[in-house]
Homo-oligomer: A and B are copies of this chain.
Amino acid sequence: MEPYKLTATEVIAQIRDGSLTVEDYAKSLLSRIEQRDPVVKAWAYLDPDLVLKRARELDQIPPDQRGPLHGVAVGVKDVIYTKDMPTQHNSPIYTADAPALDAGCVAVLRQAGALILGKTTTTQFAATVAGPPTTNPHDPARTPGGSSSGSGAAVGDFQVPLALGTQTGGSTIRPGSFNGVYAFKPTWGAVSREGLKIYSLVLDTLGLYARSVGDLEVLADVFALTDDEAVERREGVEGMRFALLKNARDVFPEPGTGTKGAMEKAVRLLRENGASVEEVGMEWPEFGKIPAWHRCIMSTDGRTAFLPEYRTNKEKLDGFLVGHVENAGGYTHKARLEALDGIGALRPRVDEVLGRFDALITPSVLDEAPLGIESTGSAAFNGAWTALHVPVVNVPGFCGENGLPVGVSLVAPRYRDRHLLAVSGEVGKIFEGQGGWTRKNI
């Protein structure tokens, strides 16, 4: 098999047993990218010479000094600082800007031996829905989603096995679904956000992409994610308990055909495989306010976050973000505090309900990726979970009307990240095996 097709776990094994060098692996990825990038356009910055230089340096490290990610390539969303590459935020204010700074997550990855491959495209500051030129690897007429457009597309297209994204609304989970890959938004605060451009301190979370849950677990190890309780390892989903949100319409819109079909099939497959799936309500009067509260927090945090760019380069700032700074939404501080405190009060209540189940199943997206790349699509199914700070995994495996991938989200209480990954691994085997959508080694 061509090395570019390997998962991170497989790359680690082949480099460890000496059957693959980091340099040969890098060359395989670069040739894949060379072949595909003219169509997919997932990269905001990629310097093949730098990649090969770093790959050769990694090959020189003696085996007993190698880290757990030795040689594995990682794409980094271009709102995350990298000290040897530019960080441009898809903003004309920061064209070719290159502060010599590694984000905390990038420093941890490098120390673990990762090969930072390049910077992946994003919407402006990961804060708008205006797409970069990136296309969906499964259909170039469609969006890969956003704001982590390039990371989702590059992993879905076998250009890199792992990538970093961020999520403030649905910026990690949506591209996960549209590109047919696993996407993981850990518990808010569980991974350093040092060196990620700020949109909202309360909402922004690092996101992780891979083509297998095992790969996400390797990343979770590297980022020292732990649960309070040891994770029970089980084969299959027999006896697992899943929840469906009874009052989903209080916070989410009606899903489209692709997602409706995926949800129905997901429930059927879980039941056929011995799991229970039951409806659970979060029917508190405040629950329905979450979408409005999420918008208020995003907008009022954005008011503060983009003041520097507004003051120095207003004419180069996206109109949506100018609106945040100018408070186009007319939010008072009182409204902001009601949103912050209201969401805060719901978090432990939601945790308590989620804690009764192995995971809650909920849509990742409205439907398969829509036509056009101008808009990266709707985050309507994601913002509530982002605001609640709970971990979410997009599990792929289903198919929309036009043959594009559709995933569903699994959700667990805060700091049950490892449990959620373990459950997602078993669920993923079933969904990927019997859901109807198969990842092509394009």
Which positions in A face B, CB cutoff 8 Å? 81, 83, 98-102, 104-105, 107-108, 111-112, 189-194, 197-198, 201-202, 223-224, 227-228, 301, 304-305, 307-308, 311-312, 332-334, 336-337, 341, 344-345, 347-348, 351, 414-415
Point out the residue from B190, B198, B224, B337 that lies within 8 Å of A192, measured CB to CB.
B198
Residues of B near A224 (CB, < 8 A) are 307
Contact B304 A192 (CB under 8 A): yes
Chain B residue nearest to A312 (CB atoms) is B111
Other A-B contacts than A100-B100, A194-B305, A228-B332, 18 sampled, CB-CB below 8 A, are A99-B99, A101-B101, A102-B308, A104-B198, A104-B308, A105-B308, A107-B308, A189-B301, A191-B304, A192-B198, A193-B198, A193-B201, A194-B198, A224-B307, A228-B333, A334-B415, A341-B344, A344-B347
In the assembled complex, how far is the CB of residue A263 from the closest CB belonging to chain B, in whole angstroms?
29
Contact B189 A227 (CB under 8 A): no
Contact B311 A111 (CB under 8 A): yes
Residues of B near A332 (CB, < 8 A) are 228
Residues of B near A81 (CB, < 8 A) are 99, 101
Compute how far the CA of A95 lies from the CA of B105 in the bound complex, rounded to whole angstroms. 21
In the assembled complex, how far is the CB of residue A325 from the closest CB belonging to chain B, in whole angstroms?
8
Point out the residue from B104, B197, B227 that lies within 8 Å of A307, measured CB to CB.
B104
Point out the residue from B189, B191, B344 that lies within 8 Å of A344, measured CB to CB.
B344
Residues of B near A108 (CB, < 8 A) are 307-308, 311
A112, A228, A333: most-surrounded residue (chain B CB, <10 A):
A333
In the assembled complex, how far is the CB of residue A167 from the closest CB belonging to chain B, in whole angstroms?
15
Point out the residue from B98, B102, B105, B336 that lies within 8 Å of A100, measured CB to CB.
B98
Contact A194 B308 (CB under 8 A): yes
Compute how far the CA of A241 lies from the CA of B138 in the bound complex, rounded to whole angstroms. 66
Compute how far the CA of A15 lies from the CA of B98 in the bound complex, rounded to whole angstroms. 35
Q: How many copies does the complex hold?
A: 2
Residues of B near A102 (CB, < 8 A) are 308
Chain B residue nearest to A112 (CB atoms) is B311
Chain B residue nearest to A102 (CB atoms) is B308
Compute how far the CA of A415 lies from the CA of B340 in the bound complex, rounded to whole angstroms. 13
What are some 17 contacts across the A-B interface (CB < 8 A)? Answer: A81-B99, A101-B101, A107-B311, A108-B307, A108-B311, A112-B311, A192-B308, A193-B198, A194-B305, A227-B333, A228-B333, A228-B334, A337-B347, A337-B351, A337-B414, A341-B347, A344-B345
Chain B residue nearest to A341 (CB atoms) is B348
Compute how far the CA of A345 lies from the CA of B342 in the bound complex, rounded to whole angstroms. 9
In the assembled complex, how far is the CB of residue A351 from the closest CB belonging to chain B, in whole angstroms?
7
In the assembled complex, how far is the CB of residue A241 from the closest CB belonging to chain B, in whole angstroms?
21
In the assembled complex, how far is the CB of residue A278 from the closest CB belonging to chain B, in whole angstroms?
25
Residues of B near A201 (CB, < 8 A) are 189, 193, 201
Residues of B near A345 (CB, < 8 A) are 341, 344-345
Compute how far the CA of A223 lies from the CA of B98 in the bound complex, rounded to whole angstroms. 26
Point out the residue from B192, B301, B312, B337 that lies within 8 Å of A348, measured CB to CB.
B337
Given contacts A337-B348, A341-B348, A348-B341, contact A307 B192 (CB under 8 A): yes
Compute how far the CA of A192 lies from the CA of B199 in the bound complex, rounded to whole angstroms. 10
Chain B residue nearest to A188 (CB atoms) is B201
Compute how far the CA of A332 lies from the CA of B344 in the bound complex, rounded to whole angstroms. 19
In the assembled complex, how far is the CB of residue A420 from the closest CB belonging to chain B, in whole angstroms?
13
Compute how far the CA of A415 lies from the CA of B98 in the bound complex, rounded to whole angstroms. 35
Chain B residue nearest to A101 (CB atoms) is B99
Residues of B near A311 (CB, < 8 A) are 107-108, 111-112
Residues of B near A312 (CB, < 8 A) are 107, 111
Compute how far the CA of A104 lies from the CA of B332 in the bound complex, rounded to whole angstroms. 23
Point out the residue from B190, B194, B304, B344 that lies within 8 Å of A197, measured CB to CB.
B194
Residues of B near A111 (CB, < 8 A) are 308, 311-312
Residues of B near A307 (CB, < 8 A) are 104, 108, 192, 223-224
In the assembled complex, how far is the CB of residue A290 from the closest CB belonging to chain B, in whole angstroms?
15
Residues of B near A351 (CB, < 8 A) are 337
